[in-house]
């Protein structure tokens, strides 16, 4: 006599849950399925409703496929999720042009309140160069979403010369990448500015004079 295999307790619970989900989906589909009256058939309203229903159906199928792929390949889903989370984190902390001006003014104030005898000449020259570019109105800002770049142009935007308005005479992307980048902003920090301000209150010439005396 063949032995009857009965489903386990967990299997019965799982089957009951699946039946509930299917039943709930059928009820929701019936509730939210809208049918137009006969007088609106083959009109632009009918075509518009059909378009949006098909669009929502496509999005629904894409979402379900994504969930199935995440369930079948959890490692791949974790990697993609980590990349998306990192990109969102960097984008939320991507500094803008106002932030750069704010950090530049703070650096200038730090140097201004430092005694002239201990000011680092390289830091002073660097800040003077940046301020000159700003006064000329040729500093430009570009954002890549997760990282920002400050670079300098040839002419101010308010200048009406032909050389300033002609697109063919403007710096190329290669030229900007090679020699025109002023600073790079990432994670609420302007890296070139911070690097040049590390020892702004250390005068190298003062230490050189002391070594010669010794």
Query: Which residues have CB under 8 Å from 95's CB, separation 6+?
Result: 148, 185, 186, 188, 189, 190
- 174/144 Cα distance (integer angstroms): 16
Take residue 4 and report the two structure tokens written for it.
């009857």
Looking at per-residue pLDDT, the higher value among 115 and 28 belongs to 115
Average pLDDT in the 181-194 region?
96
Q: 77: burial class by Cβ within 10 Å (0-12, 13-18, 19+)?
A: middle
Over 60: is that where the pLDDT of 12 sits?
Answer: yes
Over 90: is that where the pLDDT of 149 sits?
Answer: yes
Query: Which residues have CB under 8 Å from 145's CB, separation 6+?
Result: 87, 91, 94
Q: What is the pLDDT of residue 176?
A: 94
Q: Where are the beta strands (DSSP E) in the chain?
A: 139-143, 148-152, 181-185
Highest mean pLDDT among 11-20, 22-31, 147-156: 147-156
Percent of the chain residues topping a pLDDT of 70: 78
- Which residues on neighbouring strands pair with residue 152, listed in sequence order? 139
Q: What is the pLDDT of residue 172?
A: 93
- Which residues on neighbouring strands pair with residue 141, listed in sequence order? 150
pLDDT tens digit sequence for 72-84? 888 888 898 899 9
pTM: 0.68
- 76/82 Cα distance (integer angstroms): 10
């Amino acid at each position: 006599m063949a032995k009857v295999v009965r489903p386990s307790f967990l299997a019965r619970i799982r089957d009951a849950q699946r039946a509930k989900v299917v039943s709930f989906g059928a009820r929701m589909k019936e509730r939210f399925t809208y049918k137009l009256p006969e007088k609106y058939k083959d009109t632009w309203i009918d075509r518009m409703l059909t378009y949006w229903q098909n669009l929502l159906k496509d999005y629904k199928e894409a979402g379900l496929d994504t969930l199935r792929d995440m369930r079948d390949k959890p490692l791949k889903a974790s990697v993609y999720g980590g990349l998306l989370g990192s990109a969102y984190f960097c984008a939320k902390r991507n500094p803008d042009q106002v932030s750069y001006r704010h950090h530049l003014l703070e650096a200038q104030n730090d140097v201004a309140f430092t005694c002239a005898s201990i000011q680092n000449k390289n830091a002073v020259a660097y800040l003077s160069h940046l301020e000159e570019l700003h006064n000329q109105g040729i500093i430009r800002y570009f954002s890549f979403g997760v990282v920002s770049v400050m670079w300098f142009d040839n002419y101010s935007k308010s200048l009406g010369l032909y050389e300033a308005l002609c697109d063919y005479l403007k710096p190329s992307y290669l030229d900007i990448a090679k020699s025109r980048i002023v600073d790079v902003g990432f994670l609420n920090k302007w890296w070139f500015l911070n690097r040049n301000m590390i020892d702004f209150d250390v005068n190298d010439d003062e230490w050189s004079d002391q070594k010669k005396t010794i």
